[in-house]
A and B are shown apart, each in its own frame.
Chain A
């Protein structure tokens, strides 16, 4: 296989982490909402924690993006 083609396939494969990040973000927001609807008075206090979890989860997806960029532009 051409090295250029392999590079492009590799960069495409590096977008698979998006699936995991999507599932994780759905779990975080879904669980936060189900908790928030049960006890709305406690929801506001937990919002920073939820956003922190969102940011940490999102990072795993963004690592895939960083890997794709490394594959495309540094090799």
Chain B
């Protein structure tokens, strides 16, 4: 059903059905993308259950880690949205942890010899996944914005206190900028993960092809090898940073929804 080797830099993004759901159609299948989402989500659940199982005033090692995550996102939400933002904390926290874990799990090397469908996979390297997350965020912003502010939410597109000629141009610009938000959220995360993994596998491919050339050419394989190590380190940074950026931008957009009528 599936091969055993990922030969080029692009094969890592291939969606491979692991088993089809019993609907008679091949379109509805449990894929490697879904598998890694399940693995990531289970890892998060297991980690936080283990960390909070024996919650103590003086935290142990696991509990300290969980508290670092909690306080990090909690501070982020409080600083960006303010005290009204507490009700969004679970959403932002889930989003941050899930994206972080999805980004990081794709960076682990696959176990040698496993079938292609079980190679490590980054769910966030696919536009449809990130777009779904971004649309979720923007839907919450729009629905909550109208629910809380009524038509005052539209002040977002009509900032008060400008000289009148500006009102010819500003609403159009604001509407376009608002509509591009889900796209920019989705494309940023997707393209970062996608491009980073391509570079990583390109460097790894250089090493393999130079080493298999034999003779003195093999020595040229050393430089891309260290390049691959450096890119891996950079990718860990990017994985964490992009999860953070997604969470920050979500908070900023939610802040618009909460305080639309104030400014």
- In the complex, the answer to whether A55 meets B191 with C-beta atoms within 8 Å is no
Write the B239-263 contact mask toward A (1 if CB under 8 angstroms, else 0): 0010011001100100000000000
Residues of A within 8 A of B (CB): 48, 51-52, 54-56, 58-59, 62-63, 65-66
**Cβ contacts under 8 Å, B94 to chain A:** none
- In the complex, the answer to whether A59 meets B187 with C-beta atoms within 8 Å is yes
Residue total for B at the interface (Cβ-Cβ under 8 A): 15
The 7 closest A-B pairs by CB, nearest first: A62-B191, A55-B245, A59-B184, A65-B191, A59-B188, A66-B187, A62-B187
- In the complex, which of the residues B80, B191, B249 has the most CB atoms of chain A within 10 Å of its own CB atom? B191
Q: Which of B131-160 contact A (CB under 8 A)?
A: none
Known: A48-B79, A62-B188, A63-B187. A55 touches B195 (CB 8 A): no
A52 and B245 alpha carbons, distance in the complex (Å) = 7
Of the candidates A48, A51, A58, the one whose C-beta lies within 8 Å of that of B188 is A58
> How far does the Cβ of A34 sit from chain B's closest Cβ, in whole Å?
21
Does any Cβ of A come within 8 Å of B192's Cβ? yes
Write the B169-207 contact mask toward A (1 if CB under 8 angstroms, else 0): 000000000000000100110011001000000000000
